[in-house]
Amino acid sequence: MRPLRTPKISLPRIITKASLLLLFPTLIQASCLDHDDPAYSLAVSQGNYTHAFDLVSRELRLTPEQKGHFKIVQGFGATNNDRNGQADPDTLELHLDPDLFIEGKEGACQGIAHELEHLKQFQKDRRELHTYYAQHSPSGNGWDKCERENFSTSDPQKAEEDAYGCLEDNDLITHTSADDIEAVLAQLPYARDRVLRDDDMSYLLDNLRAWTQNVSMIQDQSNTSYYLPEIKRRDTRIFCRGVRHIQEKRLDSSPFYQVWQMYCRINPGY
């Protein structure tokens, strides 16, 4: 079969993007890296952050279920250390400050992708714990540094609840840091030339350091009733991905060298 011929279309020499959108709405689609998105700019200028979010969520291809987890909260950053976004592991709500959208479309895409990754992490953790406790009776061991509400329970559901609460506790630093490393790396497809902003790169480095300094939590066998071996392996793989990104950018990875040698190079993926 012969290839179809493209019909010739005469266009004026000077044509604006807006007029192209009017003439051929299916030919041009805005992207997260498009600084000249009139629809997004108009929504932000009018303070219509819900519409700005809808435009970004379309770029990120969020499902209706995923979109339902996001809440735009006026003044959120002012009461949360100037954060423009935060994910809650208990309610699975993803809070966004309107200032995120004022940063521009590229920043909004990265911020929403970051929080979306946290949602996926929480859901993955819950699935893995549910699978584990559907197949194993709760044990009295492996709960070190976990403040359980249902101590000595034989109910798998209650044990799962305890395990999830302790897994998402900020004191479990290797898991918290791995989540943040992965969330920062999830921003890369929406960063121009796949280059993170300085603040995001600093955040990535801080979490790599924290993971390295607390690697004993991975080695510890007294926490495996909530920090399951498979979750430890996943966190280790994420750490290795983070260090690889630092190496690809030719930044100083020497603070992570010994742990990298132990978990990423000699025994890839733990």
In terms of residues, how long is the chain?
270
Q: Is 218 within a domain?
A: yes
Determine the distance from the C-alpha atom of residue 81 to the mean position of all C-alpha atoms in its chain, rounded to a whole number.
19
Q: Residue 4 pLDDT > 60, yes or no?
A: no
pLDDT band at 15 (very low <50, low <70, confident <90, very high): very low
Are 190 and 32 spatial neighbours (Cβ–Cβ below 8 Å)?
yes
Query: Which secondary structure element, helix H or strand E, spans residue 100, and what is its range?
Result: helix 99-102
The residue-averaged pLDDT of 95-115 equals 96
Q: Is 94 within a domain?
A: yes
Residue-level pLDDT at 10? 39
Give the list of residues 6+ apart from residue 196 with CB closer than 8 angstroms, or none. 184, 187, 188, 204
Q: Residue 57 pLDDT > 90, yes or no?
A: yes
Q: Residue 46 pLDDT > 90, yes or no?
A: yes
Q: Is 1 within a domain?
A: no
Taking the model in full, what pTM does it have? 0.86
Tell me the C-alpha distance between 228 and 223, whole Å: 8
Tell me the C-alpha distance between 86 and 84, whole Å: 7
**Per the structure, how many domains does the chain have?**
1
pLDDT tens-digit map of 239-268: 999 999 999 999 999 999 999 999 997 554
Q: Residue 111 pLDDT > 70, yes or no?
A: yes
Give the list of residues 6+ apart from residue 96 with CB closer than 8 angstroms, or none. 53, 70, 71, 72, 73, 76, 84, 85, 111, 112, 115
**Encoded tokens for 37:** 């998105």
251: domain range?
38-265
pLDDT tens-digit map of 185-207: 999 999 999 999 999 999 999 99
Q: Is 22 within a domain?
A: no
Q: Residue 1 pLDDT > 60, yes or no?
A: no
Q: Is 132 within a domain?
A: yes
The residue-averaged pLDDT of 21-39 equals 62
Q: Residue 20 pLDDT > 50, yes or no?
A: no
Residue-level pLDDT at 13? 42
The share of the chain scoring above pLDDT 90, in percent, equals 77
Q: Residue 55 pLDDT > 90, yes or no?
A: yes
Sign of CA dihedral 253, 256, 262, 268: negative
